[in-house]
Amino acid sequence: MISRQIKKVLATVEYKGWHLERLKEIFAPAELIQISPDDDLGIERELRNVDVCVLKSDLDARFVAANQLKWIHCDHSGVNKSARPEVIARKDLIVTSSAGRAAPALAAHTFFFVLALTYDVPALVEAKKKHEWRKIAGFSDRRGPYGKTLGVIGLGYTGKEVIALGRAFGMRVLGYGRGSEQAKIAGLDQYFDGGAGETIDTLLKESDFVVLSVRLTNETYRLIGSRELALMKPSAYLINMARGNVIDEAALVQALHDGTIAGAGLDVFEQEPLPPNAPIWDAPNTVITHHQTAEMPDLVARSLDIIAENARRYRAGEKLLNQIKAQDVYTH
């Protein structure tokens, strides 16, 4: 391994107080320049001299063109907007993210959907408005999560937390991922390895709840369409905590209206903000949240832990956490 130095850092994250002080400590003795993400002139000026950037959002063409840049950290989870072909093509540039910082919160959000759909919360809210007692059709036939099958597609940070909660609820847990190492994840009853040519079909057929927690890449774009929805049980629910474009939204709307599946819990959509006239608003048995979750107690502190470990790895010449790879490319 070849050690690497950090000389100057540009930060567009809007950290303050001890968060900012810790960021400076992480990169010391390198100089750290904090600039507003809206200060285009300031960013353009500093990009000529920095070798590392910590960005509030995704990178753009200015950062790709800065040939002296060696590492860019995007301080959020999904990096599909940064995983462009021109970024992947720069073999001398490392791009990382803060994936995992909110995983426990996202898993809790997932089970908000599981429970809301299980107990038909939309119907209960309507019954409360009407002051109606025990008039929800079929409610006495509903059964809780215990003993049901949870299928998790995408076994990264959030997927692992969802698996743990599934086990805590007494569920049978199926997982789909890539690589033999993921088969060892605690809590899995059965694992399907996409890297070995296995598909999501059996998971879709057997699951009562299908949870999407995959990265959005060219490979996972519209992973769930009409064919996949038709494989699911009519009593099953689809939960999307990944990105909107992992699902063919028009196909999902049709499946919900046709009763192909029982319902859906959705936090992400093909277009965001979700337009008022989007058909998914009126889909039956659908719980919608606004790509927004009840966060961790200190999300920035968790980001800083990831940045600190990556700074150590960078200097030591080691592979960084959450590093964009060629298979992460997204061009849609």
The answer to whether 74 and 96 have CB atoms below 8 angstroms apart is: yes
- For the residues 34-40, what does the mean pLDDT come to? 97
Asked whether residue 4 carries a pLDDT value surpassing 80, the answer given is yes
Write out the E strands in the chain: 8-11, 31-34, 52-55, 71-74, 94-97, 149-153, 172-177, 190-193, 209-212, 237-240, 263-266, 286-288
Q: Mind telling me the catalytic residues?
A: 243, 272, 291
Full-model pTM: 0.96
Same-domain check for residues 271 and 139: yes
Q: Judge whether 6 and 28 are in contact, CB under 8 Å.
A: no
Grade residue 3 by pLDDT with cuts at 50, 70 and 90. confident
Domain count, the chain: 2
Whether residues 17 and 163 fall in one domain: no
DSSP state of 192: E
pLDDT in tens, 251-297: 999 999 999 999 999 999 999 999 999 999 999 999 999 999 999 99
pLDDT band at 104 (very low <50, low <70, confident <90, very high): very high
Give domain status of residue 183, yes or no. Answer: yes
Find tokens 């965001």 and name the residue. 272
User: Within this chain, do residues 26 and 47 fall inside the same structural domain, yes or no?
Assistant: yes
Q: Residue 3 domain-assigned? A: no
Same domain, 23 and 151: no
Q: Is residue 1 part of a domain?
A: no
Instruction: Enter the DSSP assignment of 274.
Output: P
**Are residues 321 and 229 part of one domain?**
no
Banded model confidence at residue 2, pLDDT cuts 50, 70, 90: confident
Radius of gyration of the chain (CA): 22
Is 2 inside a domain boundary? no
Task: Note whether 109 and 292 are within 8 A (CB).
Answer: no
Res 37 pLDDT > 70: yes
Rounded to an integer, the average pLDDT of 98-116 is: 98
Whether 167 and 303 share a structural domain:
no
CATH number at residue 73: 3.40.50.720
Cα 146 to Cα 123: distance, rounded to the nearest angstrom:
22
Parent domain of 44: 8-101+297-328
- How many whole angstroms separate alpha carbon 254 and alpha carbon 32? 51
Assign 268 to helix, strand or coil: coil
Name the token pair of 187: 């809590």
Per-residue pLDDT tens over the stretch 59-73:
999 999 999 999 999
